[in-house]
Structure 1
């Protein structure tokens, strides 16, 4: 190889050590691999770098075609490249920057935002979105529910309870002395000694 060829090869390798491009194809697997379009070049499938993959924590953030990325290649050989996410482009802009807000936004409209100044965490699900938390937990602080609450399991309350609205039950209601149906039965069939002897009739108005 002539000196001119060696210099040209070195220049090519240096230029290919850091290249910016766009994901053209995604292959889900372990690990995830992608092909990247860089100008008129399309790389082979290269490993997608996750933001965290260690012993204590692993993060999965799947790429999509059209994502702007950076390819880092050892020795300037694109066949040895690794694909890093995170370029800010007009096609997929990051949420509006703020000194106090940390925001994650998903393409379906779901937003997770933490306000350091207000010490407030807000999770806004897209229309029709649901959430599920599995495992034992504790809510240590005041909680306000502004819509319907449905509990499928048993409920135990260990403190005084105030209710401003009506209470309805399709089954039995009991306290430490008896049940509502038992009290109703006693009331509806009870009588008293009459003023002129005998006993009074049962109540006219039933419970």
Structure 2
């Protein structure tokens, strides 16, 4: 893990980040394409996905067995070697997801469909049921495997790893991530939780 002290963005840097776009971390034929709602301003300044302090994506990936050790946002490119990529529903960086509009979610859902058909990940995993509901017109969706498929790509909804999501403490978050890992057939690279309690389907 990168132990370099994290730079705290200035207000000017955060404001300037509103007009930027964080590139997708993506390749063809990935096992899992993770989908955040949209980049936070801190992530946009850092130039890495899920770099906002307090975000729990990286510990959840490790504890669930997706990564062999805890990595951080600055090492995100290592995910590609593990068959994992990252994109967003909406690419406009904001300080809060509440700043996004309904049309942005709908347009983001259309773009995701096009991206998936072009890149062909085995699984599309959306990080947050609220974003999935808005982007895919699925108001009754819950966490877990979805009936929707996009081409040959299967769809799963994970809890939002934001530190503000009090419904899922770190242990529960890791369990939900591990359910997806088992469903994808990826090996348990960390052995923190193990395979035992996780079914192949939600």
TM-score, with length taken from structure 1: 0.24
**Structure whose residues are more often helix by fraction:** 2
TM-score, with length taken from structure 2: 0.24
Q: From the CA coordinates, give the structure whose radius of gyration is larger.
A: 1
**Structure whose residues are more often strand by fraction:** 1
